[in-house]
Structure 1
């Protein structure tokens, strides 16, 4: 695993913000860690043996990582995803030999995720020999980051003030936060979630960017180790992604939300605070969505461009108006 790839965004966003780039891992995302730990622990427990079959629900990145591992170890893998999963991830999974099931009809309460999980439950009832890894409740998900990502953050940034982490299943968030709290690290842990996600009690709403937010609260969520929660509209995540791309950093949709949330939160802090954001993946797999003009207009209309200097001036003017 690659745990020492960092990019300083400070000159671009006018905030002292660094990104820990997980997109250089095998399988192209932070999900490589959770995938490996869940499979290894299942093998150690005797739940996976040569020729076994397993299934998982994924919006894309975890499915790609599991497809790679299954191909390497001779397992049969079925990924249950939904219509938000981009075509590139579907094709990657199929290239590794995985079966991909795309769910199109959302559950009336728990959305597309709820429908994915119900499909898996029915599949497992029909064939008890299929193992469901269940990343939403599997402690190996967060333990992967307790043992890798968390220590890497602490080692590289012992005096960090803020750590911003996107919340999907919350495996990365929970594992990193628990590790940093366990060693008494000073960083405030900020969970970045999407508007429309119910993970932290928000109102359910439409979401289009995979990898961030849920329509059903994951069992491994641990709010006791989270200091702050930020809800970021997807249009702001997209604006930030596109701004960073024009500066030479092509990053995934959830990273856009993390940077947008961090930018806004740090505007209320003194200039010398040090912040780090976790970038879950890179942007190549989002070329047909976040970076496609027609896709964006069809879902969000005209979103405009992000300009940190103009945004800073607008924020300052609003503050002066309030003080006056």
Structure 2
């Protein structure tokens, strides 16, 4: 979007793991899409994408590889979020929870908050199958988050800042998206993982504790995937029982307001 506004030529190196709606949206804005793997497979090819993007930019005049996993501007861009949260909540934040992909959103917000206040807990959420917080590596369908096997954990992931790292499976993350949508809000898959973890922790928080869950992904880009029953069923991700469990957590939350 910024490239279109400023007249830059923008190329995105992508794979078929990305939601089709995301790819169509970028193309509509004038982006050239370069597929690192163009055989129709849904493999998450983070390392290959970054390697190709770096190779494409190397030696080219007026060409920049943004390298979001190691670009400090990624985290700095979230400093205003920290100030907004601090002001809106009068510095009363007990827990900050968010997805960990590049680490920019959670660690950028959390790092700046430490300059404004102390005594809060930072919880990072990644998909099951991601390797940032250890555990076995395997494929996952949540996009825009996590670190797949073979990829390097970016410099922006600040393990000294993150007090606890947890994993949420695709079924739970996507069931949360679908349940939350029925309340009138569309959130994306990675956000579903964050909200699911936040909802399950609410009852364990000390009374009066404020938890802030960072929702960095809207659901409008997932009509063909998370919100498509056929797509979900083909991948054994559709779980009405899990959706009902999330519905119950949301109902409990509303009652306790």
Q: 1:150 aligns with which of 77, 82, 103?
A: 82
1: CA distance between counterparts of 2:38 and 2:134?
Answer: 23
1:127 paired with 2:63, answer: no
Match of 1:296?
232
Q: Is the 8 A contact 1:181 1:225 kept in 2?
A: no
- 1:240-259 matches, within 5 Å, as 240-259=176-195
Match of 2:162?
226
Q: Give secondary structure in 1 for the equivalent of 2:11.
A: strand
Aligned residue pairs, count: 241
Match of 1:39?
none
1: CA distance between counterparts of 2:143 and 2:48?
Answer: 15
Residue 307 of structure 1: how far off its partner (Å):
2.7
- 1:73-152 matches, within 5 Å, as 73-104=6-37, 112-125=45-58, 127=60, 129-146=62-79, 148-152=80-84
Match of 2:201?
265
TM-score by length of 1: 0.69
Change (3 A) 1:145 1:311: closer
TM-score by length of 2: 0.86
Change (3 A) 1:150 1:297: same
- 1:133-212 matches, within 5 Å, as 133-146=66-79, 148-157=80-89, 158-212=91-145
Residue 301 of structure 1: how far off its partner (Å):
4.5
1: CA distance between counterparts of 2:180 and 2:246?
Answer: 11
- Structure with more strand by fraction: 1
2: CA distance between counterparts of 1:94 and 1:120?
Answer: 17
Change (3 A) 1:271 1:242: farther
2: CA distance between counterparts of 1:182 and 1:176?
Answer: 10
Residue 235 of structure 1: how far off its partner (Å):
0.7
Where structure 2 has 5 or more consecutive residues not aligned to the other structure, the ranges are: 251-257
2: CA distance between counterparts of 1:200 and 1:160?
Answer: 24
1:306 paired with 2:244, answer: yes
Residue 141 of structure 1: how far off its partner (Å):
0.5
Residue 125 of structure 1: how far off its partner (Å):
3.7
Residue 90 of structure 1: how far off its partner (Å):
1.5
Residue 87 of structure 1: how far off its partner (Å):
1.9
Residue 240 of structure 1: how far off its partner (Å):
0.8
Residue 102 of structure 1: how far off its partner (Å):
2.3
Partner deviation per Cα, 1:93-149 (whole Å, 9 max, x = no partner)? 12221111123379xxx9510110121132134635521111111100001112x11
Q: Is the 8 A contact 2:98 2:213 kept in 1?
A: yes
